[in-house]
C-alpha cells in the first residue's frame, strides 16, 4: 500500500512541491490557515505513516494512539519541539524531524527589531503621533534606552542566541554576558562572558531570553528573576511564553521593577485581547513572528517535507532530532 501522510495545515508551496514530487505517497492536508481542531487531528492521523505538524499541534499520547502502529515519522515545521511528547515518541521508536538553522537569521533579526522597538518606545511613539499626543519636540519626552555602551545578557547562547549576539555587538555593546547549562566555546567570537544567572540579571541593561523550553527552564522568569534586574533594564523573550510567569512580569512592569518588556511569545497564544499585559505602555507584544519572512517560511516548509520523506524512506534526515 502507498504510505500515508497527514499535513496538519496549509503550508508554503515549497513544502507541498517536495511532497507531491515524491510520488508514491498518499498526502492529505488540513487545508486551512487556522489550526486543525483536535477531533480532526485525531481523525487525520489515523493509520498514517508520517505527519507534518506545527508548533500549535500538541502531539501527545492521545494523538500517537490515534495514529496507531504505522506511525514512523513526525516532522515539525519549527525549531522548538516542546509541543511533542518526546519520551513517549522515543519509546515508540518514532523518528522526529525539525527545522533548526534555517530560521536562525530571521529570528535573530526579529529579536533585534523587538529589542529596539521596546527600548526606544516605537509603538508608543506611533500611537502618540496618531492620537495627537505629539505636541512638540520636547527634551524629556519619549526617552528610552540605547544599546551603545550597554551590557547585554543572553540566556541561552545556542544557534539563535549567538546570531542575536553577533547582530547586537556592532551597536556598540560594551559587555556581553551569557548563561546556560555550560560555557560555549563559540562565545569567544562575540567576546561573551559566561556568568551565573544572578550576575547576568543584576548587571545587564538588556536581558534576552533565547533558550529552549524544557522542564528546567519553564517559569524561569519569575518574581525573583525580575527582582534581580535593574530598574532601567529591558526584558526580551522570543523563545517560548512558558519561560515567563506573566503575572510576575505584569507586576514587575507596572511597579517599575523593570523598565520594559518585548515579547514575541506568550501564554496562551493568542494572548486574549483583554490581557493585563496589553494595557501596559511599556510592554510590546508581537504574535509569534520570529521566523516570519516569506523566504524563511518557505525554506522551513521545504525542510520539514524533506525530513518527512527521508524518514519514511529510511534515509538520513537533513535535520533529525537526536532522541
Tell me which residues are annotated as active site: 288
Instruction: Please say which residue, 144 or 241, places its beta carbon nearer to ligand GLV.
Output: 241
Q: Name the DSSP class of 319.
A: T
Q: Which of residues 196-235 bind ligand GLV (CB under 6 A)?
A: 210, 212
Q: Which of residues 84-113 bind ligand GLV (CB under 6 A)?
A: 100, 103
How many residues of this chain bind ligand GLV (CB under 6 A)?
Answer: 15
Quote the least distance from Cβ 301 to ligand GLV, whole Å. Answer: 12
- Mapping DSSP to helix (H, G, I), strand (E, B) and coil, where does residue 210 land? coil
Interface with ligand GLV, residue 291, by CB under 6 A: yes
Q: In the set 44, 153, 290, 311, which binds ligand GLV (CB under 6 A)?
A: 290
Q: In the set 59, 79, 110, 200, which binds ligand GLV (CB under 6 A)?
A: 79
Interface with ligand GLV, residue 158, by CB under 6 A: yes
Cβ neighbors of 21 (< 8 A, separation 6 or more) are none
Torsion of CA 213, 218, 223, 227, to 10 degrees: -40
Cβ neighbors of 61 (< 8 A, separation 6 or more) are 85, 88
Instruction: Please say which residue, 80 or 318, places its beta carbon nearer to ligand GLV.
Output: 80
Stretch that binds ligand GLV, among 32-40, 151-159, 218-226, 250-258 (CB under 6 A): 151-159
Q: In the set 75, 78, 245, 296, which binds ligand GLV (CB under 6 A)?
A: 78
What's the gap between Cα 276 and its chain centre? Answer: 22
Instruction: Please say which residue, 19 or 208, places its beta carbon nearer to ligand GLV.
Output: 208
- For residues 4 to 43, the per-residue mask of contacts with ligand GLV, x marking binding by CB under 6 A and - elsewhere, is ----------------------------------------
Cβ neighbors of 260 (< 8 A, separation 6 or more) are 118, 119, 121, 144, 145, 234, 235, 253, 282, 283, 284
* Phi then psi dihedrals of residue 153, to 5 deg: -115, 125
Q: In the set 45, 55, 89, 220, which binds ligand GLV (CB under 6 A)?
A: 55
Q: Which of residues 243-272 bind ligand GLV (CB under 6 A)?
A: none
Stretch that binds ligand GLV, among 6-14, 72-80, 147-155, 241-249 (CB under 6 A): 72-80
- Would the CA dihedral through 290, 100, 226, 250 be positive or negative? positive
Interface with ligand GLV, residue 180, by CB under 6 A: no
Q: Is cis: bond before 237, omega within 30 of 0?
A: no
| DSSP-H helix ranges across 55-193 | 61-67, 86-91, 104-119, 122-131, 159-168
67-98 core/surface letters (b: 16 or more CB in 10 A; e: else):
beeebbbbbbbbbbbbbbbbeebeeeebbbbb
Interface with ligand GLV, residue 241, by CB under 6 A: no
Residues that bind ligand GLV (CB under 6 A): 55, 78-80, 100, 103, 156, 158-161, 210, 212, 290-291
Amino acid at each position: 500500500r502507498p504510505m500515508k501522510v497527514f499535513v496538519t495545515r496549509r503550508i508554503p508551496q515549497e513544502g507541498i512541491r517536495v511532497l507531491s514530487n515524491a510520488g508514491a505517497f498518499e498526502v492529505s492536508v488540513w487545508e486551512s490557515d487556522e489550526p486543525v481542531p483536535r477531533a480532526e487531528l485525531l481523525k487525520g492521523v489515523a493509520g498514517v505513516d508520517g505527519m507534518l505538524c506545527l508548533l500549535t499541534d500538541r502531539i501527545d499520547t492521545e494523538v500517537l494512539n490515534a495514529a496507531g502502529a504505522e506511525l514512523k515519522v513526525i516532522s515539525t515545521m519549527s525549531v522548538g519541539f516542546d509541543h511533542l511528547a518526546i519520551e513517549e515518541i522515543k519509546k515508540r521508536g518514532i523518528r522526529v524531524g525539525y527545522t533548526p538553522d534555517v530560521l536562525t537569521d530571521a529570528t535573530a533579526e526579529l529579536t533585534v527589531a523587538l529589542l529596539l522597538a521596546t527600548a526606544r518606545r516605537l509603538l508608543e511613539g506611533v500611537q502618540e503621533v496618531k492620537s495627537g499626543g505629539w505636541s512638540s519636540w520636547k527634551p524629556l519626552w519619549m526617552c528610552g534606552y540605547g544599546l551603545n555602551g550597554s551590557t547585554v545578557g543572553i540566556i541561552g547562547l545556542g544557534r539563535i542566541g549567538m546570531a542575536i549576539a553577533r547582530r547586537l555587538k556592532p551597536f556598540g555593546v560594551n559587555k556581553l554576558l551569557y548563561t546556560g547549562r555550560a560555557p560555549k566555546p563559540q562565545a569567544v567570537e562575540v567576546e561573551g562572558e559566561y556568568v551565573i544567572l544572578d550576575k547576568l540579571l543584576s548587571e545587564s541593561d538588556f536581558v534576552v531570553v533565547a533558550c529552549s523550553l524544557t522542564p528546567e527552564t519553564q517559569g524561569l522568569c519569575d518574581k525573583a528573576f525580575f527582582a534581580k534586574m535593574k530598574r532601567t533594564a529591558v526584558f526580551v523573550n522570543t523563545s517560548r511564553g512558558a519561560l515567563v510567569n506573566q503575572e510576575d512580569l505584569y507586576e514587575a512592569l507596572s511597579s517599575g521593577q523593570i523598565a520594559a518588556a518585548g515579547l514575541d511569545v506568550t501564554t496562551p497564544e493568542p494572548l486574549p485581547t483583554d490581557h493585563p499585559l496589553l494595557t501596559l505602555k511599556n510592554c510590546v507584544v508581537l504574535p509569534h513572528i520570529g521566523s516570519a519572512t516569506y523566504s524563511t517560511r518557505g525554506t522551513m516548509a521545504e525542510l520539514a517535507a524533506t525530513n518527512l520523506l527521508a524518514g519514511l524512506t529510511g534515509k538520513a534526515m537533513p535535520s533529525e532530532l537526536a532522541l
